[in-house]
Structure 1
Amino acid sequence: MTKKLFARALTAALFGAALSATALPALADIKDYHFELVQQQAKVGEAVLTVRLLDKRTGKPVPDAVIFAKRIDMAPDGMDEMTSKIEQIASTEPGIYRFKAKLTMAGGWRVSLGAKVQGETGTVEDKLVLQAVK
């Protein structure tokens, strides 16, 4: 009789484990996220740059990321040493991140960003290219 109870208990435990394993959320990889520019061009001078952080799996914006690294330079035009100031400013839309930058001349500018996504390990890093026009 104990053999029969043990077999039933084991079957129930295995069935319960199988059900709970399928209920676990899919874990994301930090490579499942990326930044993209909202506008590909900006005017020379004081510019507001808008980027979107997206989850590649769903296409949805990712809110509340902590952007800890930002840089802007003219690397696309072969002038890596030509940098400018860039600072993050407030945004009212989730998943949208805005920056104020001084684009000192027309040409290609590279925006480099590093961010931490809530609940994920690792860092999202992207390099985006925009065109500054007069």
Structure 2
Amino acid sequence: MTNSSMKRAAAATLAAALSVATLSTAYADITDYEFRLVQTDIKQGNGAIVAVRLVDKRSGKAVPDAVIFATRIDMAPDGMETMAAPIEALPSTEPGVYRFKTNLMMAGGWRLSLGAKIQGETGTLENKLVLKAVP
């Protein structure tokens, strides 16, 4: 085998390896992420803190720096969807954990609805999480 044919064979092998690697690369999708409640039972009352962790379901790792642009908390699990409470974002205490302050005025089931954009991903992540306000 001549030097030039060895180079061509090596180049062809490299090209084949790169195309296989490109085809087998798994791309993330917005459905690969989800919010999870840090605690499902939260003390009832004004100033209640609800914390959620944004997780990459493929690796189980927390995802920091998401932009949460939609939040709502209401009593839909107890059949009172129109009973909503104000909710405000708080600073995070750890990467990938997002905290909110709200008024869980009644004990019972509450639904936290979140809408977020994740850096580097297309689409919008939307999750509805159910928690319980306890006396």
TM (norm. structure 1) is 0.87
- Indicate whether 1:49 and 2:50 are aligned: yes
Q: Which runs of 5+ in 2 are unaligned?
A: none
Which residue number in structure 2 is paired with residue 80 of structure 1?
Answer: 81
2-structure distance, mates of 1:25, 1:49 = 36
Amino acid at match of 2:35: F
Calculate percent identity across the aligned residue pairs: 62
Q: Please state whether the residue corresponding to 1:52 is helix, strand or coil.
A: strand
1:25 Cα offset (Å)? 4.9
Per-residue CA deviations over 1:17-54 (Å, capped at 9, x if unaligned) read 33323168531011100011010111111201110010
Q: What residue is the counterpart of 2:125 in the other structure?
A: 124
Equivalent residue, structure 2, for 1:30 = 30
- Tell me how large the CA RMSD over aligned residues is: 2.1
1:130 Cα deviation after fit:
0.5
The residue number in structure 2 matching 1:70 is: 71
After TM superposition, give the deviation of residue 104 of structure 1 in Å: 1.0
Deviations along 1:49-89, one digit per CA (max 9) or x if unpaired, are 11001001001101111111110000000001000001110
SS of 1:18's equivalent in the other structure is: helix
Counterpart selection for 1:19 from 17, 20, 26: 17
Amino acid at match of 2:72: R
| Pairs aligned (count) | 130
1:53 and 1:38 map into 2 onto residues whose CA distance is 10
Runs in 1 of length 4+ with deviation above 6 angstroms?
none
Amino acid paired to 1:42: I
What SS is found at the alignment partner of 2:15? helix
